[in-house]
Copies of this chain bind each other. A is one copy, B any other.
Amino acid sequence: MTKDSTQNAKDLYHLLSPEAKSRQNSPLKDAFKYFKLPNMTFLGGGLPLSDYFPFDRVSADIPTPSFPNGIGAPLTNESKTTIEVFKKADKNQPNEIELARSLQYGYTEGQPELTAFLKEHTEMIHKIPYKDWDLVASVGNTESWDSTLRTFCTRGDSILVEEYSFSSALETANGQGINTVPVPMDDYGIIPSGLDSLLAHWVGNKPKLLYTISTGQNPTGSSLSAERRRQIYEIACKYDLIIVEDEPYYFLQMETYTKDKKAREGKTVHEHKEFIEALVPSFISLDTEGRVIRLDSFSKVLAPGLRLGWIVGQAKLLERFVRLHEVSIQCPSGLTQSMTNALLQSWGQKGYLDWLIGLRAEYTHKRDVAIDALEEYCPKEVTSYVPPVAGMFFTVNIDASKHPKFHELGEDPLKIENLIYEQSIKQGTLMIPGSWFKSQGQSTPPQKNLPQNPAAKTHIFFRGTYAAVPLDQLVFGLQKFSKAVKIEFGLE
């Protein structure tokens, strides 16, 4: 694998679904080529006049880089900037997306100023090693994933997913009649040899894609190392797979956990270059062939309710997503595009990196508080955990075989999981049982001989998050959860 960004991607059109291959351009597009001709009166398009759009000027207060008091600090007159977008663009504001345009039909790919900013950002972070990549706006990764499945798969197909995965992403596939076959994973994510072995023993139509939440995985909190990513990419090339990297948590990467609170101080990333170099390489940064579809989003970085994401991949495949979006979502909200663009243009690439660095500091601190609490309260006899290096989630692994009723309950770890779940609710804390995220798909032959985490048969886990609650509550919650475990295992 040599990186050569002057080369084009490999032709992977054969991996498209019949649906994606069949999508037609609208014949009306042909007519629109006459739209801008001089002396042409265009009576072809059913566009409402922007005179009737009832929003004339939209403004917002946003924090000003470099966010010296943290990204969550309340705004003051000194720390805020007011951005404005007008119905007709203010000539003094370059790269403004005027409301007359963003609130009109058009630009399925996303408004050009916004996608240009995102392309520049993508180039800076991922340095994609081929030439003809592109970027298309979406209404968030859930929709991007739905569109990806419709672009590559058809009812009855199989895809590969992490053994434990985001239940909503699995349901997207299930609804479309797609079989989600689990790939073995351990505390550090997908086991490359397990993936290779699964594919080597595959019977029937090979899966077309591997879906992975590579960084800060939901639910396990695991992150694939650079080395595993390289191995998995090689396997994808070998078996002609698309890799779908669903990466909402990519910028929620943190410093590695240390118990030594003093040592934490010196570990904070400040400089842009240092920040970028500290990021684990994405699959698309390794993608010499153009077989990675990257799903990116502002949901965890700015706000989920913006419903603004983007898809990165080779242009020839992304063009099929555009045809799909034309007849489904059309494009993200114009208010979202105008305002998010105004925010990004106001911040600039550097201000946006400042924001991401601030986010890294916040999540590092939250994670530290969560792991400190686990260190303090969790009974080491039956629990273990790996401090996450990215994302919103941590897991507490529990050895169900040590539960006093394990034999009595037929050595079924799920029954122990349920006992702990109920006890923890009784104690007043709620974490999500890992089994709720188990992929139910099947491969033929059954993958019982695959390399597995040897503890998998008796180990259960619970997913918690440090993202959503104040830190004192987080500590209190974990104290209560630990108490529930101790009660269940007769340790209290």
Contacts and interface: CB of A to CB of B under 8 A. Distances in A.
Nearest to A391: B46
Interface in A1-45: 18-19, 22-24, 26-28, 31, 34, 39-45
B172 A218 contact: no
Interface stretch (A121-129, A260-268, A285-293, A322-330): A322-330
Contacts of A50: 303
A227 interface: no
A382 interface: no
Given A177-B19, A306-B334, A468-B49, A428 B44 contact: no
A469 B335 contact: no
Contacts of A52: 71-72, 303, 359, 362
A332 B49 CA distance: 23
Given A140-B330, A327-B146, A339 B43 contact: no
Contact of A428 (B41, B61, B432, B466): B41
A60 B102 CA distance: 15
A250 interface: no
Given A19-B176, A105-B304, A392 B46 contact: yes
Given A43-B465, A63-B54, A431-B44, A24 B303 contact: no
Given A44-B465, A329-B329, A175 B58 contact: no
A83 to B, nearest CB: 9
Contacts of A306: 103, 333-335
A418 interface: no
Nearest to A337: B305
A333 B333 contact: yes
Given A303-B48, A465-B43, A477-B41, A171 B430 contact: no
Contacts of A332: 307, 333
A205 interface: no
A480 interface: yes
Contacts of A54: 62-63, 71, 302-303, 343, 355
A251 B255 CA distance: 56
A467 B432 contact: no
A95 interface: no
Contact of A60 (B46, B57, B174, B299): B57
Nearest to A80: B56
A104 B101 CA distance: 26
A239 interface: no
7 contacts: A22-B174, A43-B465, A51-B72, A55-B61, A56-B80, A143-B329, A305-B333
Interface of A: 18-19, 22-24, 26-28, 31, 34, 39-63, 71-72, 75, 80, 99, 101-105, 139-140, 142-143, 146, 155, 167-169, 171-172, 174-177, 218, 299-300, 302-308, 323-324, 326-337, 339, 343, 355, 359, 362, 392-393, 425, 428-432, 436, 463-469, 473-474, 476-478, 480-481
6 interchain residue pairs of minimum CB distance: A305-B334, A41-B477, A333-B333, A103-B305, A51-B72, A103-B303
Given A58-B60, A143-B329, A306-B334, 15 more contacts: A18-B177, A22-B175, A28-B436, A34-B430, A42-B477, A43-B429, A43-B465, A46-B392, A48-B299, A53-B303, A56-B60, A56-B80, A142-B327, A146-B327, A305-B337
